[in-house]
């Protein structure tokens, strides 16, 4: 099975920057996107042979997630509660052998005014993922808005304590991984440096590869030996994030 995840930073804008060329080339079984920034009816995608599942934020031009898949799910769930549902941040598809959970994690904001909310979110999501994992394995993907280790961003020392690299956010990622989950990219490439998935729009930051790895495929531990590929497609433009790809025998 081939899985793709991409924060498109607005699907309408990304469609004008080569989204469909990449989508068609990948021919993925599951294609998850985050930060769709659209409402119901604002985008009509012609995706033959794909089922489409959209979770829209109530606020216009904000957040939102979607999954496009060749495989009809057993069940579909949007959000994990009232707070998560209003921002359209989570979609869960259930299949015979696994759950696929597509997530756009809230940003703590530059001044960390949303850090407390973010920590509550992390705790609730971890409990949700662990409950799913009790039933069948989980493939959890998306823009998780955290660089877990110093190896996951270019200028680690200068960013300690900043949004996306606070002790609280990194600690919650550690707790999740220690509770039965595996970061697929680090499983295959534990020491690989200079591989990022997000770059600021500031002048020539992407060209100089001053980035952060904040997009992930995280799997239940019992699936890790079934991972065959975990790639970062940093040559693909169209967003401030690049797509990531997972292949696994599930």
> Could you read off the pLDDT of 104-138 as tens digits, one per residue?
999 999 999 999 999 999 999 999 999 999 999 99
Whether residue 83 has pLDDT greater than 80: no
Cut 0.95: pTM above it: yes
The proportion of the chain whose per-residue pLDDT surpasses 90, expressed as a percent, equals 96
Can you tell me the distance from the alpha carbon of 243 to that of 4, in angstroms, rounded to the nearest whole number? 7
Q: What is the mean pLDDT of the chain?
A: 96
For residue 33, the model assigns a pLDDT of 98
Whether residue 82 has pLDDT greater than 90: no
Which residue range(s) make up the domain with 115? 2-248
Cα–Cα distances (Å) from 154 to 147, 149, 165, 211, in that order, read: 10, 11, 12, 6
For residue 108, the model assigns a pLDDT of 96
Is residue 143 flagged as an active site residue? yes
In 3D space, the residue among 155, 243, 169 whose CA is nearest the CA of residue 205 turns out to be 155
The proportion of the chain whose per-residue pLDDT surpasses 70, expressed as a percent, equals 98
Catalytic residue, chosen from 56, 104, 140, 216, is 104
For residue 86, the model assigns a pLDDT of 84
In 3D space, the residue among 216, 90, 83, 212 whose CA is nearest the CA of residue 144 turns out to be 216
Whether residue 84 has pLDDT greater than 70: no
Phi and psi torsions of 19, nearest 5°: -55, -50
For residue 111, the model assigns a pLDDT of 97
Catalytic residue, chosen from 95, 140, 143, 216, is 143
Is residue 24 flagged as an active site residue? no
The total of structural domains in the chain comes to 1
Whether residue 199 has pLDDT greater than 60: yes
CATH code for position 9: 3.60.10.10
């Amino acid at each position: 099975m081939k899985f793709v995840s991409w924060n498109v930073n607005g699907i309408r804008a990304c469609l004008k920057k080569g989204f469909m060329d990449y989508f068609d080339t990948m021919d993925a079984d599951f294609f998850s996107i985050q930060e769709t920034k659209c409402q119901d009816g604002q985008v009509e995608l012609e995706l033959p042979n794909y089922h489409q599942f959209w979770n829209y934020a109530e606020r216009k031009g904000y957040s939102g997630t979607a999954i496009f898949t060749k495989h009809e799910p057993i069940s579909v769930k949007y959000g994990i509660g009232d707070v998560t549902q209003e921002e359209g941040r989570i979609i869960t598809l259930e299949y015979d052998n696994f759950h696929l959970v597509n997530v756009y994690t809230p940003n703590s904001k530059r001044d960390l005014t949303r850090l407390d909310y973010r920590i509550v979110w992390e705790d609730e999501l971890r409990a949700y993922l662990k409950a799913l994992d009790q039933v069948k394995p989980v493939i959890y993907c998306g823009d998780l808005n955290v660089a877990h280790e110093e190896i996951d961003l270019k200028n680690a020392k200068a960013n300690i304590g900043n949004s996306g690299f606070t002790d609280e956010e990194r600690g919650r990622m550690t707790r999740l991984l220690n509770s039965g989950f595996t970061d697929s990219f680090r499983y295959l490439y534990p020491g690989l440096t200079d591989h990022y998935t997000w770059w600021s729009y500031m002048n020539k930051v992407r060209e100089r590869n001053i980035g952060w790895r904040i997009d992930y495929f995280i799997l239940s531990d019992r699936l890790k030996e079934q991972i065959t590929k975990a790639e970062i497609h940093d040559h693909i433009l169209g967003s401030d994030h690049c797509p990531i790809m997972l292949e696994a025998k599930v």
